[in-house]
Structure 1
């Protein structure tokens, strides 16, 4: 397994250790820091990096997921070009206008939000998030509520992920609430991820790898800065996600498109402002 040039790797390791040291320096209660959560967070982050970058099987799997995401983005262009003609086509279509943010990038947010709503209606999202939350509870000894929020942040944005634990929000401990906030800030929603691919010309594989690596380390950093000193209500077990309120697939797609439109308009407005 080729680890690549040594010097850049040493710099990266020193940077990671420096971030942990800074978090520890600002810790509210250094004596209560859970070493198990820190070790699992750092270990999983590095394990994901090695698996996805240096192990052939992991790299091929990541490339496969990247191709699947790219196909989803191609479907987005099919819809946007149908509505906006060349303005919504990839690179401006035959007119050669290049990337038009309002007509090519913002529709991506709408389409992916609708797709996620359909996956949630079918129960696929609940299974994926629930499995990650269950594993987080077992490995990190984190509470069920914060584990569920961290797992949801892998797929959802900072606004949507906390809503998965809505019944528990007002009863979270300070440490749990801080975990929810840090995990949300460390991740991006699937809709915004698609927009990054189109605007930044960043390889989709790099973004997917970053999403996978941020979840465990965000929990570890949060637990260093604000260690658990209370008694979490959901300790030892991850609560189940609520069932979708949509009546059928078409209803779910419509609701998701409406929510995606709000997000797209907000993104456009903030960029203009």
Structure 2
């Protein structure tokens, strides 16, 4: 046995052995318990070693002793069964519009009728917070519109450049003087959906038409100065139900590009 402060002698060597290990929870625990097992087998294990290990791992001393006991008997400590919100409970929670207390009352009633034991209310609340995202919980409580507030804006699945473009018109929130009068200009643009890069734009002082679409399209396809470096030929172009994007003139321009493109009509989400 080694007495005295763990910062001296074997205790110091024990700390140094831990310090060189990657300080991530699982790896550090494995290294610490390996070292304690070696000291235990050599008859040199002291309570100071256990205390130092508990402080390093951020757990109670009795937890370290329990791990060491499992090492001695070569058994794996039993993992605590944690209450979770599974698919069935998600459905029940939806009926209660995300109300944890209502779901808990239902579980208590089911237990009284001979079902599985019911957890306490705080356990149910923790499980809901852990297993459901903020968006899912908002959707259960207030509907789909509330859930969408937690969506990542313009999130797209990983893809490659020019895999899909999106085209649209937008009225700018500014006023400019055109021929002595103030108007709000319109912007026509195409965006690479994978990288959110604006490929080409056309600004007009009046309602956009096929001419503005063709101007923005030319700027998007061209990659030489003053355009680019983004641009090229897309595989798919997503547009809304605007007739100008589907006009014969625009269609012929795409046909001449020989890009093998296809148009995907998108209905705006309400």
Please classify the TM superposition score into its range, dividing by the shorter chain length.
Answer: under 0.3
State the TM-score, normalized to the length of structure 2: 0.20
Structure with greater proportional strand content: 2
